[in-house]
Amino acid sequence: MTAQRWLVSLKTIVLYVLLLVFLTPFLIIIMNSFKTTEQFVDNPLSLPQGLTLDNYTSAWDSMNFWDGFMNSLTITVLSVLVILLFSSMTGYLFVRFKWRVNGWLFFAMLASLALPFQVLMIPLVMLYGNLGLLDSKAILIFMYAGFGVPFGVFTFHGFIKGIPYELEESAFMEGSSRVHTFFRIVLPLLKPVFVTLIVLDVLWIWNDYLLPSLVLLSPDYRTLPLSTYNFFSSYSVDFSPLMAGLIMTIIPVLVMYLFLQKQIIKGITEGALK
């Protein structure tokens, strides 16, 4: 091997070591989630003796993991579907119909992208609280739709602009209606935008804490971030089940990441460069 090739391999090894250090926090927590709390306090760096799942079963029960998981799943899936449907249709409307009202609405949506959630949360809670609409998963999904639609419309708008109108025209000639044409001809072409938006919106909604903490008040409605918070606030010294709880919360996202790595990285890149 030449000196240069050696240098390249050395660099790769250094990078892998760096990555290992970077991910050490995960490794330490995973390792200790298989030990008892006494063993952890005694020496957090000792290897676990055997693979006991006691901490996992105890965390599963104490944090109502299954309920939290199902709540997170329902809310994320439904919110993302609603955002995709609403914003693709509206993006299409804004591109194909240059009415003045559409121009204003599009401008308002673009401007709203600059608004942080912090400016909206207090009036939001106040208004919906006054109307007695808080503490409902449906309202939370509706709110995610409201927050997610502007970026969705913006992204679809940019993409639909590049689709030639002739495709739709020939469909109209054959007597296809506007709605039918949109779903049959335009929607299938939007697949790359769907992937980008699904990635960004799933990660945002799945991990969000602040909005659900303000909207979902009943313990039964808790999403995973809320049950994690609750678990840590009420079991603050029994470390081992807490660590198992963290790992269990991380696993669903990690599994998704393993399967959709490429799409996720691509989605993130495209979302950031917009």
Partner 1 sequence: MTRKQWMRNTGIFLLFGGPSVIAFMAVVVIPFVVGLYLTFTNWDVNTGDSSLVGLANYKQVWLDTVFWQQLWFTLRYVFCTVVLANVAAFFIALALTGGRRGEQWLRTGFFTPNLIGGIVLGYLWQTLFSQVLPYLGEKYGWSLFATSWLTDTDKAFWALVIVTAWQLIGYLMIIYIAGFAGVPGDILEAANMDGASRMAIIRKIMLPLTVPAIVICIFVSLSRSFLTYDINLALTKGGPFNSTELATYHIVQKAFLSNEYGVGQAEAVVLFAVVAIVALTQSYLLKRLEVES
26 lines the binding site for partner 1 (CB under 8 A): yes
Please give the structure tokens belonging to residue 135. Answer: 């503490």
**Residue 246 burial (CB count, 10 A):** 18
Which of the ranges 57-65, 97-105, 165-173, 189-197 carries the binding residues for partner 1, by CB under 8 A?
A: 97-105
Cβ pair 59, 248 in contact under 8 A: yes
Query: CB-wise, 46 or 74, nearer to partner 1?
Result: 46
Least Å from the CB of residue 11 to partner 1: 7
Residue 161 CA to residue 178 CA, distance in Å, equals: 17
Query: CB-wise, 77 or 139, nearer to partner 1?
Result: 139
Residue 149 CA to residue 106 CA, distance in Å, equals: 11
Which of the ranges 48-56, 62-70, 162-170, 246-254 carries the binding residues for partner 1, by CB under 8 A?
A: 246-254
DSSP element (H, E) containing 165:
none
Least Å from the CB of residue 249 to partner 1: 5
Site for partner 1 in 146-175 (CB under 8 A): 146-147, 149-150, 153
Site for partner 1 in 41-70 (CB under 8 A): 41, 43-45
Binding residue for partner 1, selected from 73, 110, 121, 217, defined by CB under 8 A = 121
255 lines the binding site for partner 1 (CB under 8 A): no
Please give the structure tokens belonging to residue 113. Answer: 């992208």
Amino acid at 253: V
Residue 149 CA to residue 80 CA, distance in Å, equals: 10
Sorted by sequence, the CB contacts under 8 Å of residue 3 that are 6+ apart come out as none
92 lines the binding site for partner 1 (CB under 8 A): yes
Residue 181 CA to residue 93 CA, distance in Å, equals: 13
Cβ pair 141, 75 in contact under 8 A: yes
Which of the ranges 10-18, 49-57, 61-69, 164-172 carries the binding residues for partner 1, by CB under 8 A?
A: 10-18
Binding residue for partner 1, selected from 25, 162, 175, 188, defined by CB under 8 A = 25
273 lines the binding site for partner 1 (CB under 8 A): yes
Please give the structure tokens belonging to residue 46. Answer: 């000792």
DSSP element (H, E) containing 89:
helix 65-96
Least Å from the CB of residue 188 to partner 1: 17
Cβ pair 124, 188 in contact under 8 A: no
Binding residue for partner 1, selected from 40, 56, 65, 154, defined by CB under 8 A = 40
Residue 33 CA to residue 241 CA, distance in Å, equals: 7
Binding residue for partner 1, selected from 97, 174, 218, 259, defined by CB under 8 A = 97
Binding residue for partner 1, selected from 53, 219, 232, 234, defined by CB under 8 A = 232
What letter would DSSP give residue 48?
Answer: P
Site for partner 1 in 165-224 (CB under 8 A): 178-179, 182, 203, 206-210, 214
At residue 109's C-alpha, the angle toward residues 205 and 161, to 5°, is 100
> Residues binding partner 1: what is the number (CB under 8 A)?
86
11 lines the binding site for partner 1 (CB under 8 A): yes
Least Å from the CB of residue 64 to partner 1: 16
